[in-house]
């Protein structure tokens, strides 16, 4: 069964060679500047809407933006702009519903940012808070059980990958140093765990070289090695599941071969096991958990895939066949799956967004 989809913006002209179903322009008329971005973040808010923050907004990804937007269903509107332009940053939902945005880059080739700001959905305002102790971008971030936020690894402002971590306390709006990781790493996957700790898995230990390292970091500063991953990978997706387990999806081992494999971190046994195989290798991908527990992923290859961990299967969504993007984001709001932004193999912005009706997704 093909999914009913609406193009949020951009051009997707049909042709005789296009095997997918008809894709029509969204009646919501979501502005083109919303989808014309990559390396941005999309964070689900407590009211069911999605907060889109920053990203690079020119072909070649040389310039970042201060834009932030709210998406509700097929409708989108700008909200207050960031204080600083940024891409490759982190955006973490706090327990009180605010979102803390940290680090990133202002433009290609510039030092990593140490600036941090918090978005309050009640006032729709950004407030700058204390800076990171180490400016960084392409890092991992996860909420810990005590309400603090773990910031881990990344490309450091001083140059090169870092093994440092730091802890943000939303009550004082300040950072303190966290425990050291086993090795410097950028692009590490991060996910909150049911026991209040966070999983950090995979990433690059040096440029183009993956790691199979996996550790948990707890609020008391304890670091426990739980790896190795079944397959060393970077530019992958790390997805917390409702069960408390964590799904690790795709990535690459060398920046050339794209991995179709997934693996599952069992939060109880603290071990990894194989997960469903993707229909095609993917990296630089986004992911979102659907209300029925399946995981939607997109990026690095055409189409959107639905991963069913319970059945061990992955299904391609035909309506999204035309979408080939890297560093796009996915989220669920108002009964639709939103796929937004990204760039193509030439690092040109795709300028395409999708709103796929959840009720019409294949089973």
Under a CB-based contact definition with an 8 Å cutoff, are residues 260 and 277 in contact?
A: yes
Under a CB-based contact definition with an 8 Å cutoff, are residues 60 and 347 in contact?
A: yes
Q: How far apart are CA 141 and CA 135, in angstroms?
A: 14
List CB contacts of 330: < 8 A, sequence separation 6 or more. Answer: 42, 286, 287, 288, 296, 297, 298, 304, 337, 338, 339, 340
List CB contacts of 302: < 8 A, sequence separation 6 or more. Answer: 280, 320, 321, 322, 323, 324
Quick check: bond before 228 cis, omega within 30?
A: yes
Within 10 angstroms of residue 116's Cβ, the number of other Cβ atoms is: 25
Under a CB-based contact definition with an 8 Å cutoff, are residues 136 and 150 in contact?
A: no
pLDDT at position 30 is 60
- Whole-number CA gyration radius for the chain: 19
Question: pLDDT of the chain along its 363 residues, tens only?
Answer: 334 333 333 322 222 233 332 233 333 446 788 989 999 999 999 999 999 999 999 998 889 999 999 999 989 999 999 999 999 999 999 999 999 999 999 988 899 999 999 999 999 999 999 999 999 999 999 999 999 999 999 999 988 999 999 999 999 999 999 999 999 999 999 999 999 999 999 999 999 999 999 999 999 999 999 989 999 999 999 999 999 999 999 999 999 999 999 999 999 999 999 999 999 999 999 999 999 999 999 988 888 999 999 999 999 986 555 556 788 899 999 999 999 999 988 898 988 788 889 998 988
Share in percent of the chain as helix, strand, coil (round to 5): 5, 40, 55
pLDDT at position 351 is 83
Whose tokens are 């690092």? That residue is 347
Cα atoms in the 13 Å half-sphere on the side-chain side of 133: 16
CA 341 to chain CA centroid, Å, is 12
Within 10 angstroms of residue 357's Cβ, the number of other Cβ atoms is: 15
DSSP 32: H
Under a CB-based contact definition with an 8 Å cutoff, are residues 300 and 345 in contact?
A: no
pLDDT at position 10 is 30
Name the residue among 154, 134, 248, 242 with its Cα closest to residue 199.
248
pLDDT at position 28 is 43
Furthest CA-CA distance within the chain:
60
Q: Which residues of 219-240 are buried (b: 16+ CB within 10 A; e: fewer)?
A: beeebeebbebbbbbbbbbbbb
Under a CB-based contact definition with an 8 Å cutoff, are residues 339 and 290 in contact?
A: no
pLDDT at position 354 is 85
6 bridge partner residues: 24, 355
Domain ranges in the chain? 44-129
pLDDT at position 13 is 26
Question: Token pair for residue 273?
Answer: 């096991």
List CB contacts of 62: < 8 A, sequence separation 6 or more. Answer: 56, 107, 108
């Amino acid at each position: 069964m093909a999914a009913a989809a609406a193009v949020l913006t951009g051009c997707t002209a049909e042709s005789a060679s296009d095997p997918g179903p008809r894709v029509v322009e969204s009646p919501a008329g979501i502005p083109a500047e919303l989808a014309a971005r990559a390396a941005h973040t999309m964070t689900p808010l407590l009211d069911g809407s999605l907060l889109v923050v920053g990203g690079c907004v020119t072909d070649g990804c040389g310039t970042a933006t201060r834009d932030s937007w709210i998406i509700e269903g097929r409708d989108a509107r700008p909200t207050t702009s960031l204080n600083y332009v940024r891409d490759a940053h982190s955006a973490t939902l706090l327990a009180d519903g605010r979102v803390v945005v940290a680090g990133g880059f202002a433009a290609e080739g510039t030092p990593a940012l140490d600036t941090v700001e918090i978005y309050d959905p009640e006032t729709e305002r950004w407030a700058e808070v204390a800076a990171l102790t180490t400016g960084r971008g392409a890092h991992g971030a996860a909420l810990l059980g005590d309400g603090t936020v773990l910031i881990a690894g990344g490309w450091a402002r001083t140059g090169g990958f870092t093994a440092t971590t730091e802890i943000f306390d939303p009550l004082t709006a300040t950072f303190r140093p966290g425990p050291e990781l086993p090795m410097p790493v950028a692009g590490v996957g991060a996910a909150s765990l049911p026991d209040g700790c966070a999983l950090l898995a995979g990433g690059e230990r040096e440029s183009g070289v993956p790691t199979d390292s996996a550790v948990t970091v707890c609020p008391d500063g304890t670091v426990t090695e739980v790896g190795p991953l079944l397959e060393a990978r970077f530019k992958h997706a790390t997805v917390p599941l409702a069960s408390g387990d964590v799904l690790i999806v795709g990535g690459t081992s060398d920046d050339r071969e794209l991995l179709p494999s997934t693996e599952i971190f069992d939060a109880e046994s603290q071990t990894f096991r194989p997960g469903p195989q993707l229909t095609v290798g993917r990296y630089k991908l986004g992911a979102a958990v659907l209300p029925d527990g399946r995981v939607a992923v997109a990026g690095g290859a055409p189409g959107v895939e639905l991963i069913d961990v319970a059945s061990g299967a992955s299904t391609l969504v035909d309506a999204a066949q035309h979408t080939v993007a890297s560093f796009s984001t996915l989220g669920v709001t108002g009964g639709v799956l939103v796929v937004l932004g990204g760039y193509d193999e030439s690092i040109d912005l795709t300028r395409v967004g999708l709103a796929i009706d959840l009720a019409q997704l294949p089973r």
